[in-house]
């Protein structure tokens, strides 16, 4: 798998290893997905049955000023991995994002809904989806959202740090999505890697929905932190990249891949933090 050093990649390696699977996890330093020849060589050497592609440029705001890098990793890099996997007869499970949508709906987005990214990050991830699908028929493209977990920057850790320093924080109420714990998503990705009949686009995220404000309230409640959460709007926090106002993911598949409720994921993640502290 790619991106083994990242937040999601680490969770996938841990889950696959716990199941007794033979795992070859490549970090960014070990595998530059933008180098097509190197990707092909590594996959020939490893000879995988499936590749879980987690490597990505995930700095949503940074992508606005680094389009070339974001495109190289998220689009062409994904295509390189999918093509190399196809050459060795391997299936690819590619991780994408809710940011391929513009957030204009007020009911959950399903797999066939029209895509319209608001920024460079979403644009490049969408291009990656298209290149993966074109390069390897044996593909599962997994759109997910609002990830948090061990080993990477995420909203939960940010709130815990701010809550320890401040009496109150302001968090937006006008962005709604599906918080997703990497521990839960990793299990689904490993399962999909072993289900060749599952192809195409799948929406897989923590069940339920909330705003960032509601998520912050839940974080402080579960962590026992006394910090007020004040309502705010996106207009009060101007950032380089626009975010979709509503990016809740649903599914129209007959047998969708379902994750536990986002609150369960939050509780599980907080428990892991306590266990290692």
pLDDT tens sequence across 239-263: 999 999 999 999 999 999 999 999 9
Please compute the mean of the pLDDT values over residues 174-194 and round it to a whole number: 98
Active site residue 269: no
Contact 74, 217 (CB under 8 A): no
**Is 276 a residue whose pLDDT tops 90?**
no
Give dist(CA 91, CA 48) in Å, integer: 9
**Is 275 a residue whose pLDDT tops 70?**
no
Annotated catalytic residue, options 57, 99, 121, 246? 121
Contact 138, 92 (CB under 8 A): yes
**Is 178 a residue whose pLDDT tops 60?**
yes
Q: Where are the domains of the chain?
A: 7-153+179-207+245-261
Give dist(CA 258, CA 202) in Å, integer: 10
**Is 147 a residue whose pLDDT tops 80?**
yes
Rg for the chain, CA atoms, rounded: 18
Write the CATH number of the domain with boundaries 7-153+179-207+245-261: 3.40.50.720
**Is 277 a residue whose pLDDT tops 70?**
no
pLDDT band at 152 (very low <50, low <70, confident <90, very high): confident
Give dist(CA 185, CA 205) in Å, integer: 7
**Is 274 a residue whose pLDDT tops 80?**
no
Q: Quick one: which of 159, 134, 137 has its CA closest to 146?
A: 159
pLDDT of residue 273: 85
Q: How far is CA 140 from CA 69, 82, 189, 196, 205, in A?
A: 24, 11, 9, 9, 15
pLDDT tens sequence across 192-243: 999 999 999 999 999 999 999 999 999 999 999 999 999 999 999 999 999 9
């Amino acid at each position: 798998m790619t991106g083994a050093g990242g937040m999601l990649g680490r969770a996938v390696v841990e889950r696959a290893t716990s199941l007794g699977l033979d795992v070859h996890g490549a970090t960014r330093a070990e595998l530059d997905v933008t180098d097509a020849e190197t990707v092909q060589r590594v996959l020939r050497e490893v000879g995988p049955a499936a590749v879980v592609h987690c490597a990505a440029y995930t700095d949503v705001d940074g992508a606005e000023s680094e389009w070339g890098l974001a495109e190289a990793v998220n689009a062409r890099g994904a295509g390189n991995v999918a093509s190399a996997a196809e050459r060795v007869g391997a299936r690819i499970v590619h991780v994408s994002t809710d940011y391929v949508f513009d957030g204009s709906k007020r009911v959950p987005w399903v797999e066939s809904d029209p895509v319209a990214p608001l920024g460079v990050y979403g644009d490049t991830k969408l291009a990656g989806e298209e290149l993966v699908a074109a390069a390897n028929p044996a593909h599962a493209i997994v759109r997910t959202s609002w990830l948090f977990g061990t080993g990477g920057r995420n909203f939960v850790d940010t709130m815990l740090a701010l809550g320890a320093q401040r009496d109150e924080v302001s968090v937006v109420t006008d962005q709604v999505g599906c918080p997703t714990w990497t521990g839960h998503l990793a299990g689904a990705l490993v399962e999909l890697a072993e289900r060749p009949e599952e192809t195409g686009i799948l929406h897989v995220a923590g069940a339920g929905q909330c705003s960032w404000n509601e998520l912050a309230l839940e974080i402080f409640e579960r962590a026992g932190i006394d910090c007020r959460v004040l309502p705010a709007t996106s207009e009060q926090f101007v950032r380089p990249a626009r975010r979709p106002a509503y990016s809740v993911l649903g599914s129209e598949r007959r047998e969708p891949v379902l994750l536990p409720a986002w609150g369960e994921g939050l509780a599980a993640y907080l428990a892991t933090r306590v266990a290692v502290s």
